[in-house]
């Protein structure tokens, strides 16, 4: 089924959480197609916009832009909720974002649902490393210094590529694999071919209280 036309559903913040390399962006697009009432809100897209707009000379400046981007993210989320739009957001969410999202969920009377993607960390690292080397991925993710006007770099020469040790450390110490807010569905994506999307859609239909208008 490609999507429900004219559907009604409960106001919801749907968080696609979990480890890096789990295909959250791909699943977000699948869910938007199936549940078109959601508005997609991506922290990474906001970061990339600000990196292009301002650039950064070092990791300190990069971190300041990341904090600015989170402020924009929460403001955008509030605007969507004030307008009565359900929100779908994909990110390796952690305790850093939990209270901010929970506060807005309560303030605007939105339910929160988490789809937490997990998998074998060695396989996920290989996926993440491949993604970082993809020319389509924004270079700000793998650089310590970035200006949009800079000449393109060879990805293998990027100076902030994520090492295996750092990847494992982030996954095991930042709580990506245990993040939960509201009703939580966990999916193992070690093998994408084993994901039962119809089962997921049916479970979401029930949680979202989907009806045809």
Separation between Cα atoms, residue 7 and residue 4, nearest integer Å: 6
Q: Which domain holds residue 133?
A: 10-212
- The encoded tokens of residue 195 equal 């994901």
To the nearest 10°, the Cα dihedral for 166, 19, 72, 38? Answer: 170
Q: Would residue 2 count as lying in a domain?
A: no
23: left (phi over 0), alpha (psi -120 to 50) or beta: left
Separation between Cα atoms, residue 128 and residue 87, nearest integer Å: 25
Q: Would residue 164 count as lying in a domain?
A: yes
The number of distinct structural domains making up the chain is 1
Q: Would residue 5 count as lying in a domain?
A: no
Q: Would residue 3 count as lying in a domain?
A: no
Separation between Cα atoms, residue 206 and residue 134, nearest integer Å: 37
Q: Would residue 173 count as lying in a domain?
A: yes
Q: What CATH number should be reported for the domain holding residue 154? A: 3.40.50.300
- Residue 176 burial (CB count, 10 A): 21
Cβ–Cβ < 8 Å for 147, 55: yes
Separation between Cα atoms, residue 131 and residue 85, nearest integer Å: 31
Separation between Cα atoms, residue 196 and residue 131, nearest integer Å: 24
Q: Would residue 1 count as lying in a domain?
A: no
Estimate to the nearest angstrom the gap between the alpha carbon of 53 and the chain centroid: 21
Separation between Cα atoms, residue 127 and residue 18, nearest integer Å: 14
Q: Would residue 4 count as lying in a domain?
A: no
Q: Digits of tens for pLDDT over the chain (213 positions)?
A: 444 455 688 999 999 999 999 999 999 999 999 999 999 999 999 999 999 999 999 999 999 999 999 999 999 999 999 999 999 999 999 999 999 999 999 999 999 999 999 999 999 999 999 999 999 999 999 999 999 999 888 999 999 999 999 999 999 999 999 999 999 999 999 999 999 999 999 999 999 988 765
């Amino acid at each position: 089924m490609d999507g429900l036309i004219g559907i009604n559903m409960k106001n919801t913040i749907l968080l696609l959480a979990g480890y890096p390399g789990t295909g959250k962006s791909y699943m977000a697009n699948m869910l938007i197609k199936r549940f078109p009432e959601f508005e997609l809100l991506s922290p990474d897209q906001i970061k990339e916009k600000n990196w292009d707009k301002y650039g950064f000379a070092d990791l300190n400046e990069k971190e300041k832009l990341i904090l600015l981007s989170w402020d924009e993210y929460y403001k955008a989320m509030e605007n969507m909720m004030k307008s009565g739009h359900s929100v779908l957001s994909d990110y390796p969410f952690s305790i850093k974002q939990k209270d901010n999202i929970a506060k807005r969920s309560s303030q605007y009377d939105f339910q929160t649902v988490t789809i937490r993607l997990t998998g074998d960390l060695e396989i996920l690292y290989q996926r993440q490393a491949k993604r970082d080397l993809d020319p389509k991925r924004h270079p700000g993710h793998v650089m310590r210094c970035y200006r949009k006007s800079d000449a393109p770099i060879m990805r293998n020469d990027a100076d902030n590529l994520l090492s295996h040790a750092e990847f494992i450390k982030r996954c095991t110490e930042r709580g990506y694999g245990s993040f939960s807010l509201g009703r939580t569905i966990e999916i193992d994506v070690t093998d994408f071919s084993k994901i039962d999307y119809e089962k997921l859609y049916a479970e979401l239909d029930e949680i979202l209280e989907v009806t045809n208008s």
